[in-house]
Amino acid sequence: MHSHKVSLKGSERKPLGTRVGAQSDDEVIEISIILKPKSRAPISRSGGAAVSREEFAAHHGADNAAVELVRQLAAEYHLSVSEISYRRRTVKVKGTAGNMSKAFEVVLAEYVHEGRHYRGRTGAIQIPAELAEQVEAVLGLDNRPQAKPHFRRHSGETAGAVKPISYSPRQVAQLYDFPLDVDGTGQTIGIVELGGGYQPADLANYFQSLGIAQPKVISVSVDGGQNAPTTPDSADGEVLLDIEVAGAVAPGAKIVVYFCPNTTAGFQDALTTAVHDLDNKPSVISISWGGPEDTWTAQSMQAFESAAQDAAALGVTICAASGDNGSSDGETDGADHVDFPASSPHILGCGGTNLQSADGKITGETVWNEGSASAGAGGGGYSTQFIPVPAYQTGVVKPPAGLGRGVPDVCGDADPQTGYNVLVDGEASVIGGTSAVAPLWSGLIALLNQKLGRPVGFLQPILYALPAASGAFHDIMEGNNGTYSAGPGWDAASGLGSPSGNNLLKALAAPPAGIS
């Protein structure tokens, strides 16, 4: 092919943990090469879909010339092309680790981090110069566990003087005045899971206990990921929380769970599979996994954000948990960090509160912060990757110098002290975390889509433009997540606030017009 290679921008990677040996040259591995779109699909500022899934590939998918360059690269290094998706702009390439190392000029080795073995690489990925112009990311050479679930179990201990309480997801929806005269019929909620699983019996028993119809739940395997329930203390808690919260809010919706490996390639492939799913066509996607921005490569964040832009053009809303470790996002370097993918500008970042009520009414709502890292606090802050702030945050979000996108956009009940009653592997549990807020908002969006007769799609330009008088949000005025405190309007502890569902519905019925 062509000998001159260049470093793929943003692909630099450092291993974590301890090197325990060389990578076997004979091991067969598969990677995902994410290509840039032929042209960027338009995104409506008034929500909804600007382009259909059916016509997307022809105009905004991968360019055939770029795919051909990947084929040539693969052939030169004795690799095989195992899958091509123009719609998802993804070419899967398979071959031995030895040939992968030669093709991309990387050194692969085995490492152990936090007790888990993974294949790591050092430095930047090298690709032919003419291909570099067409590629967003090369994912899968490094297969470390990339993200963590953002759920917290109630420990049974009481923090401070406030007595812990718990709710069914339906009760939370009622407190937030969701339009519960509809049930999400005709909508599909996609849920991305990077581990764990569910037992159908748990779902049957849970929804029966709530006295509501069980939603149709199906699982889709991405890159070999499977519905694999193990124990209540595993990622099963995440999977069941997501399904049970979204399903209780919108029991008439179909719920499709996309199981994938916990790697950058798996996460990317699961998102694009959900966004471009022609069979199930989710109108909203819930993500409750993530990690601090500095644990990702710039190329992987850009490819994920690019996929989220495609979703926005298709009228698909993506909700993501903002993290459960406050303004540090669990890092120990003394600095503030935000969680990705919640920090992605085309994803609705969902933060956390403590929700108090009496007699079916909210009596108080503050930022979730239990005062210690082990008990958790809602994630939020400012991005170091997406700078400057996106257009919809201009004039509203004023980041410190050198920082960008503000997170979260919205919030909802997340404190395990005011958590959700769920059933996980046969055990009744109370679980919180911003992991509950992403499916809560996803369920709400399914209801809004049904009520409006159209997908709300990319919500942020509308939400940030709403006047306070719309009453679409409960503005959180008390509490902090560490560095950042709640106050009037948007803040980096609670975003714009928690939802007032029927007021939000009225506001969305007459959104501002325009295509961005």
Annotated catalytic sites, by residue? 238, 242, 435
- Residues 33/126, Cβ–Cβ less than 8 Å: no
Residue 249's nearest CA partner among 281, 212, 200 is 212
Alpha carbon separation from 155 to 159, 164, 416 (Å, rounded): 10, 11, 8
Amino acid 62 reads A
Rounded Cα distance between 4 and 87, Å, is 29
Rounded Cα distance between 293 and 511, Å, is 32
- Residues 403/387, Cβ–Cβ less than 8 Å: yes
- Residues 468/446, Cβ–Cβ less than 8 Å: no
* Inter-helix orientation angle 200-210/236-249, to 10°: 40
Rounded Cα distance between 494 and 367, Å, is 6
**Around Cβ 441, how many Cβ atoms within 10 Å?**
29
Give 362's strand partners: 357
- Residues 198/243, Cβ–Cβ less than 8 Å: yes
Rounded Cα distance between 13 and 295, Å, is 9
Residues 6+ apart with CB under 8 A from 30: 82, 92, 93, 94, 140, 223
Question: What's the sign of the alpha-carbon dihedral 502, 505, 510, 513?
Answer: positive
- Residues 473/498, Cβ–Cβ less than 8 Å: yes
User: What is the CA angle 395-472-347, rounded to 5?
Assistant: 60
Q: How many residues does the chain have?
A: 516
Q: Biggest alpha carbon distance in the chain?
A: 72
- Residues 243/191, Cβ–Cβ less than 8 Å: yes
For residues 69-104, b (16+ Cβ closer than 10 Å) or e, as one string?
A: bbbebbeebebebeebbbbbbbbbbbbbbbbbbbbb
What is the β-pairing status of strands 418-424 and 165-167?
parallel
